[in-house]
Amino acid sequence: MSQAQSQLSPQAGSEITVTVSACTRKVPKGTRVADLFDPEQRSRLVAARVNGKLVDLSYPLEQDAVVEPVSVDSPDGLAILRHSAAHLMAQAVQSLYPGTQVTIGPATEDGFYYDFAPPRPFTAEDLPKIEQRMRELAAADLKVERLEMSREEAIELFERMGEHYKVEILRDLDEPRVSVYKQGDWMDLCRGPHVPSTGYLKAFALLNVAGAYWRGDERNAMLSRIYGTAFPDQAALKEHLALLELARSRDHRKLGRELELVLFDPRAPGSPFFLPKGTILFNELVAYVRRLYRRYGFKEVITPQLFRNELWRTSGHWDLFRDAMFLTTDGENKTGELDYALKPMNCPAHALIYASQKRSYRELPLRLADFGRLHRAERSGVLHGLTRVRAMTQDDAHIFCTMEQVAEEVDANLKMVREVYQTLGFERLELKLATMPQEHLGSEETWRQTERMLAEAMERNGLEFEVNPGEGAFYGPKIEIYVPDALKRKWQLATIQLDFNMPERFGLEYVTSQGSVQRPVMIHRAVLGTLERFIGVLIEHTGGAFPFWLAPEQVRVLSINERVEAYALDLSARLERLGFRASADVRSEKLGFKVRQAELAKVPYIVVVGEREASTGTVSLRKLKGEKAQSMSVDQLVDILKSEPLPG
């Protein structure tokens, strides 16, 4: 009998109490978790929680416990399935490419990856071969076993295996004992848990290959990262792969080029160019937010791009955010010291505006909004089109208020967020409370107080939320608002944050009704968030088919032949005078070609004019949505266009 098997044998004459699905019973000490469930239940499980801790189904119970089953289609179960698929991929890779070292291979939100150090970098051509080997190993139904050993024993084991990256990981661990997972003749350092056998892995696919630095540091070796995904069944996998294909066709970099919205140039990394049509889209979003600002009582300001570093030292950014800032000098400093920085955030500038004069409680809440440009020194390896940039614009605002006003202000901003995303075609929002990070300003007591205030605001507004531990900004906790798009991906865009620390650091005050002096509370708030990022998300969510009020080109007039060219041009000009974004296509091309071009350009209204329309002063209207063409007068067309809603 193996060591692993002996660990699972119940000890005779000793019982413990277990509770499963609210039913309590006695079982022999050492009973495996799997044995608590009948075969039909067990077939749907990949792990369990024992007293709140995720464990393998082979885990032996040594004390009284509450046991919760983890099904394969639950969030925890899906993560375990994908982590196990990463192990299966690593086993396949090492069996096919001897000499390859493994590093780390976690599950991700929609799949998994594993970073390898192979004799030669992997390419996309290697993936079918690796995937086929994975299928063979899955079909072999290899048992997955957990082995525990001392850290020193594990170091010796992986040194013998030639796994130098694993040895480095082990040497950095401050744990006396570690776990290793074994399937067949392959093993890996891992906390687990994992599926009971490779036969549980029935629906998986490898997606692509990329380069990745060891531990994300460009000073380290470049590794080969293979991405994949796994699902409980083929139907779910097929749906996901179809969504991935749709995502590729909707990639905002591809559509941004085809729709003439944005341009990217390697000489300006992380700083997109907005072309004329993209600039219309950008400005219409800003105009919409400005209309909301008037309704919600915000005052817009414009603040400088460049500040002396003393500002960032006061705000706390210098100590906790300096690596993400672009530093420079004004040329007058002969010491070579970089004593200026481009602003990465607006909040310190708004604190200066608040502090520029004496404030009374009668002025509060003071709501300052800013569309100023921000710059952050993102690493080149993480830049991605519009969704990860270095130069950005936020619909940023900061609210200075009394403690008694916080609840009403947070409620109003939650209302604004819901209104905006509903208007822009996002069906639902998901909220998280991001709590105190390891590096932070202010006392733990203050953090816990502000975390409670945000939690109560979401509860008061009937909004469900999860806690995102340790993910708050360094100056305060925040409500993170995630937006699922049409491709079932979640984007974190809007935020609402409470901050007691910056008012303290800048010495902000107001005079109360009793004549005493108090600190205001500062609320940081963005609705769309970074506009560049939001536009990238919106392009992919809509496939470039924007609502009428946002469409860079709202109407395109198509002439059937050159004899009606003047009529088409006059009609387009009339629509432009009425405030619509219209153009005319009077090229000597077939009508079918022109219609297709207008459809590819995602123009909401396509107006066709021929000799009959020119002689009667009418048009034939087609909509991008594919409705049957309608004949109508020009005045009727104008009425239809005017009936399109303008939000805000």
The secondary structure of residue 360, as a DSSP letter, is B
Q: 156 Cβ partners below 8 Å, 6+ apart?
A: none
Same-domain check for residues 569 and 524: no
Share of the chain above pLDDT 70, in %: 97
Query: Of 71, 90, 106, which residue sits at a domain end?
Result: 71
Write the CA distances from 256 to 279, 299, 300, 386, 493, integer angstroms: 12, 32, 29, 10, 20
Same-domain check for residues 30 and 158: no
* Boundaries of domain holding 366: 262-542
Which one is catalytic: 133, 146, 375, 478? 478
Active-site residue flag, 376: yes
| 6 confidence band (pLDDT: 50, 70, 90) | very low
pTM (2 d.p.): 0.83
Q: 609 Cβ partners below 8 Å, 6+ apart?
A: 557, 558, 559, 560, 564, 567, 568, 571, 619, 620
Active-site residue flag, 478: yes
Joined together, the tokens standing for residue 411 give 């409620």
Same-domain check for residues 53 and 117: no
Active-site residue flag, 190: no
**What is 284-302 written as a DSSP string?**
HHHHHHHHHHHHHT-EEE-
Same-domain check for residues 138 and 26: no
Active-site residue flag, 422: no
Which one is catalytic: 115, 396, 485, 499? 396
Write down the residue that tokens 């600039």 correspond to. Answer: 279
Same-domain check for residues 113 and 213: yes
Which one is catalytic: 83, 252, 367, 524? 524
Per-residue pLDDT reduced to its tens digit, 57-89:
999 999 999 999 999 999 999 999 999 999 999
Per-residue pLDDT reduced to its tens digit, 301-325:
999 999 999 999 999 999 888 899 9
Q: Across residues 579-608, what is the average pLDDT? A: 96
Active-site residue flag, 394: yes
Which one is catalytic: 146, 240, 398, 556? 398
Per-residue pLDDT reduced to its tens digit, 434-470:
998 888 888 888 888 889 989 999 999 999 999 999 9
pLDDT at position 13 over 60: no
Q: How far apart are CA 9 and CA 122, in angstroms?
A: 44
H or E stretch including 12? none
**What is 371-392 written as a DSSP string?**
--EEE----GGG-BTTTB-SEE
Which one is catalytic: 91, 101, 394, 554? 394
Q: How far apart are CA 394 and CA 497, in angstroms?
A: 15
Which one is catalytic: 347, 497, 585, 602? 347
Is 394 within 8 Å of 526 (Cβ atoms)? yes
Query: Of 542, 569, 596, which residue sits at a domain end?
Result: 542
SS3 37: coil
Is 154 within 8 Å of 119 (Cβ atoms)? no
Longest dimension (CA), the chain: 101
Per-residue pLDDT reduced to its tens digit, 607-638:
999 999 999 999 999 998 777 789 999 999 99
Query: Of 492, 520, 542, which residue sits at a domain end?
Result: 542
| CATH number of 472's domain | 3.30.930.10
455 part of a folded domain: yes
| CATH number of 30's domain | 3.10.20.30
Same-domain check for residues 526 and 591: no
Per-residue pLDDT reduced to its tens digit, 215-242:
888 889 999 999 999 999 999 999 999 9
List the one residue out of 493, 623, 494, 480 whose CA is nearest residue 551.
Answer: 623
Share of the chain above pLDDT 90, in %: 84
Same-domain check for residues 202 and 110: yes
Q: What pLDDT does 218 receive? A: 80
316 part of a folded domain: yes
Same-domain check for residues 513 and 624: no
Q: What pLDDT does 278 receive? A: 97
Q: Across residues 418-431, what is the average pLDDT? A: 93
The secondary structure of residue 265, as a DSSP letter, is -
416 part of a folded domain: yes
466 part of a folded domain: yes
By CB atoms closer than 10 A (0-12, 13-18, 19+), residue 267 is: exposed
Same-domain check for residues 290 and 324: yes
| CATH number of 626's domain | 3.40.50.800
| Helical ranges in 550-633 per DSSP H | 565-577, 591-600, 611-616
581 part of a folded domain: yes
Which one is catalytic: 252, 376, 388, 440? 376
Same-domain check for residues 438 and 455: yes
By CB atoms closer than 10 A (0-12, 13-18, 19+), residue 201 is: buried
- Domain total of the chain: 4
256 part of a folded domain: no
| CATH number of 181's domain | 3.30.980.10
Same-domain check for residues 280 and 400: yes
SS3 432: strand
Same-domain check for residues 14 and 86: no
The secondary structure of residue 107, as a DSSP letter, is B
Joined together, the tokens standing for residue 79 give 């993560």
